[in-house]
Chain A
Amino acid sequence: MESFSFETKGNQILNQRSHVGVVGSGDLEVLIEPGNNNKAIFNVRTASEGFQETWKAVFERFMDINEVVATITINDFGATPGVVALRLAQALEIAKQNKD
């Protein structure tokens, strides 16, 4: 496995934290926690080594559309970029909802 972080600017404030997914074969879990420092921080642990550039591309694409201010934790067990993007979108949808 390997772990790394990726940091970029954000400006969209989120309403609540969110959690989706499981660290199971071909899947990952995503935890989004709203931040307050105009940054988006991605902390990744992945079972598949050597794909940092691919991860970065997925995150950049995600941030192009959603400039979130958040800490995003990812525990990955070999998800494809498509699955990663889907889980990020699912987690974001929940994080945008009003706190109940």
Chain B
Amino acid sequence: MKASFVELKGRERAEALLDKGTFTELLGPFDRIESPHLEPQGIVPESDDGMIIARGTINGLQAVVLSIEGAFQGGGIGEVCGSKIAGSLERVLVDNQAGKKTIPIIIFDTGGVRLQEANYGLLIISEIQSAIVALREFVPVIGLIPGNVGCFGGMSITAALCSNLIMTATARFGMNGPEVIEQEAGIAEFNSKDRRLIWDTIGGTTRFETGFIDQLVEDDVDTFKAAINKAINETNVKPRTRRIDEYLSLVNRVDPLKKNTKDDIIELRKAKTNATTPVLANGIAPGRGRNWFNIFTSNAVSISEYPSVLIADTNFGGKLTRFIAVVTNSENRYPRNRHGEVGLQEGWAMAKYIREAIEADAITGEKRNIVAVIDVPSQAYGYNEELMGIHFSCAASVDAYASARMAGHSVTGLIVGNAISGAFLAHGLQSSRLIALDDAGINVQAMSKQSAARITKRTIAELEEATQKVPAMAYDIKNYFSLGPLDCLIKGVNADEPNPADIEKVSYELLKAIKKSDSTIKHRLETKQAVEQGRKYSILVREKIAEQWT
């Protein structure tokens, strides 16, 4: 007889996967480390913040199951539950580095960032992603998307980084939820009421047939266990996020002006081709990202084949530095991508040029610095984007930035404009050090106000009221600074039309940050703002995990 896995609650799911009698929970309900950010917004918290950390064995092998409870706040990632995942993965990494083989398994049942704790969600998702990239060098990181909520938003990028993804046919896996695409791009782009269309785009079967997941399984506990076993033994598989040529070729060959179907993608994937990059139209539009990129590179010609991704190497402060910016191309082949968004091309293209630098410098031993010039309005919201796995494009870029950092490149982010959502995860949040201009025009957030209001069922006014109580909900750079992720906030600079003194000031701070960058992103938990207030619970969760991790 079959035993449903999907119907189990988060804790029961973890228990079902582990060998009988080996389940041990860390930071369980009685530790009562719940989110401090919900009650002030009139939302009832949960004693475990909807995250179960379970240690035990699978076929005798040490394992950690991180199970997201989708029934609590849609499995949204806030400060506490997110830090439970990040903190656990960081411990699993330490164990594996010390030769204690431990298999990490993540059960994704999540809508992505918990919008009531927005900027915490984004920050911590990037910390989870960094840990996964590091862990993949030692063990397969196994991801399950059993369904109910499915896996969306920033966490879809996280799942895309996993070594092996296991799904059921009744689960959905996409970056932007259908409602959000409809909100951002209109009903003609994606009708969120059209269930057939949704399943044919982001459903488990489609994801399997179009090659974005590894195993499609029936909803049965033993079947899931067998799939996990298979994943544990499948080593030496190149992660999708490193198969850049394959996916870029797909992105280059598809016709973005038509509504492609999954069969179109399957056909394109079958064709063996060494397609070269198409000659892409370049609709140059002014913008902060482009402007600051030009300033730092002295108007160097970008080496990128993609006009929306600027790449140039220059001598900056005495060392070769690769500057990267995502900019507006009003003629972008992908119509949902004409305002500087990170889309299918941009994520894969950034990955390509970062990896080229890593590989070239591995030979010479001189690791160039990498600087992300950040001004990104969002990821691209569109139907083709979902079908073709925009979350994998973003994940490829995350992987590349993180890999560069871990390979010894200084990776630094400079926020000159907006830093929003999945685009910020793909371009900026893997930086060891982040600095920003202190400018009222800068927004840092997980979602536009309109969409956030719609998804959390509040009015814009209610949303703005909540930002008064919870700084992580705010959109401005000063509140973001108070969370601790920024090394410094550069005051008194004209972000749009900087004069020579402004440029000198920003260059000085950027160089300082570049020199401080290390191979980790943990510094953001060590700043004065983080320790005193901004990341108190992120730090507490990690301390408690360390205490209980025996």
Residues of A within 8 A of B (CB): 1, 17, 19, 22-25, 27, 29, 31, 33, 45-47, 73, 75-77
Query: Complex Cα distance A22/B29, Å?
Result: 11
Complex Cα–Cα for A45 and B72 (A): 15
Contact assessment for B71 and A29 in the assembled complex, using a CB-CB cutoff below 8 Å: no
Decide: B69 and A22 in contact? CB cutoff 8 A.
yes
Q: What CA separation (Å) do A46 and B39 show in the bound complex? A: 11
Using Cβ atoms and an 8 Å threshold, which residues of chain A touch B30?
Answer: 17, 19, 31, 33
Measured between beta carbons, the chain A residues less than 8 angstroms from B69 are 22, 24
A29 to B44, CA, bound (A): 11
| Beyond A29-B29, A31-B29, A73-B47, 7 extra complex contacts between A and B, CB < 8 Å | A1-B43, A19-B47, A22-B46, A45-B39, A45-B45, A76-B44, A77-B44
Q: How far is the CA of A75 from the CA of B73 in the complex (A)?
A: 13
Question: Please, how many angstroms separate the alpha-carbon atoms of A76 and B545 in the complex?
Answer: 27
Complex alpha-carbon distance, A33 and B47, angstroms: 13
Q: Is B9 close to A, CB under 8 A?
A: yes
Please, which residue of chain B has its CB at the minimum distance from the CB of A17? B30
Of chain B, the residue at the smallest CB distance from A77 is: B44
Q: How far is the CB of A92 from chain B (nearest CB, A)?
A: 16
Task: Knowing A17-B30, A27-B71 are in contact, say whether A46-B44 is a contact too (CB < 8 A).
Answer: yes
In the bound complex, what is the Cα–Cα distance between A46 and B47 (angstroms)?
13
Closest Cβ neighbor of B43 among chain A residues: A1
Note all chain A residues with C-beta closer than 8 A to B50.
Answer: 22-23
Indicate which residue in A22, A31, A45 contacts B71 across the interface (CB closer than 8 Å).
A22
Beta-carbon contact of A75 and B46 below 8 Å: yes
B44 touching A19, Cβ below 8 Å: no
Total chain B interface residues with beta-carbon distance under 8 A: 17
With A19-B30, A22-B69 as contacts: A29 and B47 at CB distance below 8 Å: yes
* Chain A residues within an 8 Å CB radius of B45: 23, 45, 75
A-B contact pairs, 25 of them (CB 8 A): A1-B42, A1-B44, A17-B30, A19-B28, A19-B30, A19-B47, A22-B50, A22-B72, A23-B44, A23-B45, A23-B50, A23-B71, A23-B72, A25-B71, A27-B71, A29-B46, A29-B47, A31-B29, A33-B30, A45-B44, A45-B45, A47-B44, A75-B44, A75-B45, A75-B47
What's the minimum C-beta distance from B30 to chain A, rounded to whole angstroms? 6
Q: Name the contact of A31 in the complex, choosing from B10, B39, B42, B47 (C-beta under 8 A).
A: B47
A33 contacts across to B, CB distance below 8 A: 30
Q: Indicate with 1 or 0, residue by residue over B61-97, a CB within 8 angstroms of chain A CB atoms.
A: 0000000010111000000000000000000000000
Is B71 touching A19 in the complex (CB atoms < 8 A)?
A: no
A29 contacts which chain B residues (CB < 8 A)? 29, 46-47
Which residue on chain B has the smallest CB distance to residue A47? B44
> Which residues in A have their C-beta under 8 angstroms from that of B9?
22
Of chain A, the residue at the smallest CB distance from B25 is A19
Cα A46 to Cα B43 with chains together (Å): 9
Query: B10 to chain A: which residues have CB within 8 Å?
Result: 22
Contact partners of A46 in chain B: CB under 8 A: 44
Q: Taking CB as reference atom, which chain A residue is nearest B69?
A: A22
> What residues of chain A lie closer than 8 Å to B29, measured between beta carbons?
19, 29, 31
Among A1, A24, A76, contact of B72 (Cβ-Cβ < 8 Å): A24
For the complex, give the distance between the alpha carbons of A64 and B10 in Å. 33
- Report how far A77 CA is from B42 CA in the complex, Å: 12
CB distance from B388 to the nearest CB of A (A): 33
Give chain B interface residues in 356-370, CB to chain A under 8 Å: none
**Nearest chain A CB to B26 CB, angstrom units:** 14
Residues in A whose Cβ lies below 8 Å from that of B28: 19
Q: Contact: A1 with B39, CB < 8 Å?
A: yes
4 nearest A-B residue pairs (beta carbon): A24-B71, A23-B46, A19-B29, A22-B71
